[in-house]
């Protein structure tokens, strides 16, 4: 039971899209305007998912664009040391900079992010910079929603999806809605609907699906039914503290709760969830077991300061799943 992946591929997962800098507040319980110290990490949903997947033991590659400066070199070096193949990290020669994300930790329940995405290097990845053979060498191509926010990145993402599908590579779409880059919610809906209909696996929060559906926003079952009329084979809808749900075209439904933890902050959960969930699918787990892995991974990351560095090991996830029977 689950998704069938084409064997004989060099990579388990290749992620495409945003790799940037996270500056997480080192001072807790304080508004950002009063915060003076931050800790630097690699950030960006697809970069985090790639790092998390590599840490779990998957063979992982990455396609993206980084600046020709100190931040770009930091991103490339960190991802490479984390076990991610960075041979397709394109260096921007036009002076574009890395996206910056500042995080505020007022309390475990009150966290916010401030993103600087104006002319971010990752949004300038061009279709002609996509290596067809590289994309085809993965069992899964993961696309993050922010890659669709502007041209030429959106055309590069769509080209990669077409190449992947022609080669029997499964396409996973992580909605990853960030309003900072989009001109309107209507624009978001158009491109999310387009790519979700082309993908095999779609993952997002209920709120992200509502944005995709716009005025026609509905419940989980209707969302899944609408997508199954196109190409998706698996739809995952996350409901925060109420757990997550997975749907198959056959009508089967799976659900996983959340794992108790000492929450420090709320961000990073979705990326860690996706990396562990995809790990489960690629390793042949039943969907309900993959959901539990995703949920456990998310709980571990929200208990720690970073997103990328906090990505758990396989033993940490297994220990939490065995400790708490969710």
**What phi and psi values does residue 282 have, to the nearest 5 degrees?**
-65, -25
Q: How many CB atoms lie within 10 A of CB 248?
A: 18
- Is residue 82 within 8 A of residue 59, CB to CB? The reply is no
Domain count, the chain: 1
Token pair 């020669």: residue: 93
Q: Looking at the domain assignment, is residue 125 inside a domain?
A: yes
Token pair recorded at residue 65: 């664009």
Q: Looking at the domain assignment, is residue 244 inside a domain?
A: yes
pLDDT value of residue 1: 55
- Is residue 121 within 8 A of residue 72, CB to CB? The reply is yes
**What phi and psi values does residue 85 have, to the nearest 5 degrees?**
-70, 125
- Is residue 244 within 8 A of residue 279, CB to CB? The reply is no
Token pair recorded at residue 48: 């985090």
Q: Looking at the domain assignment, is residue 161 inside a domain?
A: yes
Q: Looking at the domain assignment, is residue 306 inside a domain?
A: yes
Q: Looking at the domain assignment, is residue 86 inside a domain?
A: yes
Token pair recorded at residue 231: 């190409």
Q: Looking at the domain assignment, is residue 41 inside a domain?
A: no
How confident is the model over 19-45, as pLDDT tens digits?
Answer: 999 999 888 888 899 999 999 999 999
Residues of the chain whose pLDDT is less than 70?
A: 1, 326
Instruction: Find the CATH number of the domain harbouring 129.
Output: 3.40.1190.20
Q: How many CB atoms lie within 10 A of CB 12?
A: 21
Which helix (H) or strand (E) covers residue 246, if one does? strand 244-247
- Cα separation of 74 and 77, whole Å? 5
- C-alpha of 36 from chain center: 29
- Is residue 297 within 8 A of residue 325, CB to CB? The reply is no
Q: Looking at the domain assignment, is residue 291 inside a domain?
A: yes
Q: Looking at the domain assignment, is residue 55 inside a domain?
A: yes
- Cα separation of 168 and 8, whole Å? 11
Assign residue 325 a region: left if phi > 0, alpha if psi is -120 to 50, beta otherwise? beta
As a whole number of Å, the end-to-end CA separation of the chain is 21
Token pair 């940490």: residue: 316
- Cα separation of 20 and 146, whole Å? 12
Token pair recorded at residue 299: 């709980």
pLDDT value of residue 105: 80
- Cα separation of 302 and 264, whole Å? 6
pLDDT value of residue 290: 97
- The parent domain of residue 73 ranges over 11-19+47-97+120-323
DSSP reduced 3-state for 258: coil
pLDDT value of residue 183: 93
Q: Which residues contact 258 (CB under 8 A, 6 or more apart)?
A: 240, 241, 242, 243, 295, 298, 299, 326
Q: Is the pTM of this model over 0.85?
A: yes
């Amino acid at each position: 039971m689950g998704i069938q992946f084409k064997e004989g591929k060099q990579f388990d997962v290749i992620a495409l899209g945003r790799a940037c800098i996270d500056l997480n507040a080192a001072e807790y319980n304080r508004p950002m305007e009063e915060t003076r110290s931050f800790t630097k990490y690699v950030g960006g949903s697809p970069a985090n998912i790639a790092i998390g997947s590599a840490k779990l033991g998957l063979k992982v590659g990455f396609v993206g664009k980084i600046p020709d400066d100190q931040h770009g070199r930091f991103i490339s070096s960190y991802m490479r040391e984390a076990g991610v193949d960075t041979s397709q990290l394109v260096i921007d020669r036009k002076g574009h900079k890395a996206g910056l994300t500042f995080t505020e930790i007022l309390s475990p329940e009150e966290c916010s992010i401030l993103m600087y995405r104006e002319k971010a290097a990752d949004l300038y990845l061009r279709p002609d910079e996509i290596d067809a053979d590289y994309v085809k060498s993965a069992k899964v191509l993961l696309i993050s929603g922010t890659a669709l926010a502007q041209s030429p990145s959106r055309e590069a993402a769509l080209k990669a999806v077409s190449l992947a599908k022609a080669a029997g590579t499964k396409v996973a779409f992580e909605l990853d809605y960030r309003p900072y880059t989009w001109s309107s919610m209507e624009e978001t809906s158009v491109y999310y609907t387009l790519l979700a209909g082309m993908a095999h696996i779609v993952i997002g929060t209920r709120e992200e699906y509502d944005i995709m559906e716009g005025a026609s926003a509905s419940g989980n079952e209707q969302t899944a039914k609408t997508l199954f009329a196109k190409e998706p084979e698996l739809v995952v809808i996350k409901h925060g503290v109420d757990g997550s749900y997975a749907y198959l075209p056959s009508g089967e439904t799976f659900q996983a709760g959340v794992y108790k933890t000492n929450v420090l902050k709320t961000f990073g959960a979705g990326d860690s969830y996706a990396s562990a969930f995809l790990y489960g699918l690629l390793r042949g787990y039943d969907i309900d077991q993959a959901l539990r892995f995703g949920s456990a991974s998310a709980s571990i990351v929200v208990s720690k300061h970073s997103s990328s560095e906090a990505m758990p090991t396989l033993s940490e996830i297994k220990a939490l799943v065995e400790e708490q029977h969710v």
